[in-house]
Amino acid sequence: MNMSNLNGRGCSHAWVALAIAALAPGLLCAQGSFAGIPEHARARSYGTGWDCDPGYQRVAEACAAIELPANAYLTNDAYGRGWNCMRGHKADSETCVAIGLPPHAYLASRGDRWECERGYRSIAERCALIEVPPHAYLNAIGDGWQCDRAYRKDGERCAAINVPSNGYLTNISYGSGWACDRGYRAAVADCVAVVVPANAYYVEASYGAGWSCNRGYTAVDETCAPVQLPANAHLDHSGSSWECDEPYRRERERCALPPPR
């Protein structure tokens, strides 16, 4: 075969391809669309499929332009409306409206709402002055008030806490606001002394008798009576009752050997 004829044919084919590319560039784009990538889209850099260009969102198998309202910016999200309102504005349907600041208010950190200045609270779309009563102060946040020490909240005022004799103020904001000294217990609005009977010791607790019997004694009314040990028995772990030695078993108030098997 004549090699010059082959070379001539190869060159002619190359020139034909170049001519087509120069005269009909749209043909390549048409082939790209035919491959499944619509206008205003680009193939993904990994995997398969395509994504819309910035400013466009996927609608079925096409890319539609995002209608950006005034005072908004694109988010490049593939879902949702594709835009957010600028600071100081909030979305209202398909628009961004300016946030109106009432007196003594400021924009929150995200800029999409307002908050009241310290010493004011939000009431019916306005910032109302917080009326701090006597013997009170603004709380740490500044949106309310707390009573001074020795006072407690009573509606919209601070009432003095009446501490009884043998009592002291507490830092607890609920309850009576006071507690009794050691050896005393609260009884309505007073602190009464805890009477510890013989053979007992004081127990600091807000419930119960306020005392417990020593080991070997048991509470009987307001006294501590000795535990009566039957034969072949010993005090249990509590020290206020008894249990039988092994192999004896308790039968009412005595310890008896179990019947032989």
pLDDT at 46: 86
Task: Give me the sign of the Cα torsion angle 237, 241, 243, 245.
Answer: positive
- Comparing CA positions, the residue from 72, 49, 79 lying closest to residue 61 is 49
Tell me the percentage of the chain whose pLDDT exceeds 70.
87
Under the banding of pLDDT at 50, 70 and 90, the label for residue 241 is very high
Phi, psi for 78 (deg, rounded to 5): -80, -5
pLDDT in tens, 165-210: 999 999 877 788 999 999 999 988 999 999 999 999 999 887 889 9
Contacts of 68 (CB under 8 A, 6+ apart): 55, 74, 83
Is 159 strand, coil or helix? strand
- In this prediction, residue 29 has a pLDDT band, given cuts at 50, 70 and 90, of very low
- The H or E element containing residue 170 is none
Nearest to 72 by CA among 55, 58, 57: 55
Q: How many CB atoms lie within 10 A of CB 158?
A: 21
Residue 72 burial by Cβ neighbours in a 10 Å radius (0-12, 13-18, 19+): buried
The torsion region of residue 88 among left (phi > 0), alpha (psi -120 to 50) and beta comes to left
Average pLDDT value for residue range 54-80: 90
Q: Is the pTM of this model over 0.75?
A: no
Q: How far is CA 5 from the centre of its chain?
A: 83
Asked if residue 226 has pLDDT above 80, the reply is yes
The pLDDT of residue 246: 95
Kindly state the tokens that stand for 166.
């043998």
Per-residue pLDDT averaged across 233-261, rounded? 94
Q: What is the pLDDT of residue 80?
A: 83
Q: What is the mean pLDDT of the chain?
A: 86
Residue 205: predicted pLDDT: 85
Of the pLDDT bands very low, low, confident and very high (cuts 50, 70, 90), residue 35 is low
- Judged against a pLDDT cut of 60, whether residue 61 lies above it is answered with yes
Q: Token pair 């879902």 is at which residue?
A: 79
